[in-house]
Amino acid sequence: MTDEFTNLPAESRQKQKKKHPAGPGRPKGSSNGDNSYKVTEEHRHQVMVGAAHGIRQDELCKIIGISPVTLRKYYPDELKFGKTMANAKVGGALFSKAMEGNVTAQIFWLKSQAGYREADRLELTGANGKQLVNLTETDKEQRMLAVLQKAFKKEVKTIDIDPESRAN
């Protein structure tokens, strides 16, 4: 994770500090609301990469040495977009591998992005595809067993089990 995680829009980098008048919710001695914390590019990068890697906010606070309120106040974009940017980068790498002919990447992409799915489901329906109604679990199990037995018999006929019969 390199510099692409620090390329946020310029307006998000120029956060204005909001001055809050001293009031009931402010700590004693904070008359002008000016905090001593200063945002650094190094901290921006740490928050962006930490968010991208799924590190919890309380853990990020310990790394940087700030409170959760300060983290959310000064780094909202890094917290919001860190994971998104990491997912975009991984998605791009997956797409590149798929385009290079990596079949596993192609299959995964089609399943996760194009709605493809494996066709190994067995659905029991009534006549003309209508829903089965008023069947007990035993009835459903017996119908499923009959379908599986029929399919198995067809499969056994197509497989040559006796190797000696091929020699003749």
CB atoms within 10 A of CB 71: 19
Predicted pLDDT at 156 = 65
| Structure confidence at residue 66 (pLDDT) | 94
* % residues pLDDT > 90 (the chain): 35
Q: What is the pLDDT of residue 135?
A: 75
Mean of all residue pLDDT scores within the chain: 77
Whether 136 has a pLDDT exceeding 60, the answer reads: yes
Is residue 131 within 8 A of residue 147, CB to CB? The reply is no
Residue 127 vs residue 138, higher pLDDT:
138
In this structure, the dihedral spanned by the alpha carbons of residues 107, 111, 112 and 113, taken in order and rounded to 10 degrees, is: 90
Name, in order, each residue with C-beta under 8 angstroms of 51's C-beta and a sequence gap of 6 or more. Answer: 60, 78, 79, 80, 81, 82, 83
Residue 1 has pLDDT above 50, yes or no: no
Separation of CA 69 from chain center: 26
Query: Is residue 15 scored above 60 in pLDDT?
Result: no
pLDDT one-digit tens code per residue, 89-114: 999 999 999 999 999 999 998 888 88
pLDDT above 70 coverage of the chain, percent: 66
Cα–Cα distance list, 133 to 124, 127, 136, 145 (Å) = 11, 11, 9, 18
Distance, CA of 47 to CA of 78 (rounded, Å):
6
Q: What is the CA radius of gyration of the chain?
A: 30
Rounded to whole angstroms, the maximal C-alpha distance in the chain is 101
Residue type, 143: R
pLDDT in tens, 138-164: 887 888 888 888 877 776 666 655 556
Question: Tokens at residue 117, please?
Answer: 């799915």
**Among candidate residues 58, 51, 57, 66, the one with its CA nearest the CA of residue 6:** 51
Q: Is pLDDT of 56 > 70?
A: yes
Residue 78 · residue 64 · CB < 8 Å:
no
Which of 20-24, 56-60, 153-157 is predicted with the least confidence, judged by mean pLDDT?
20-24
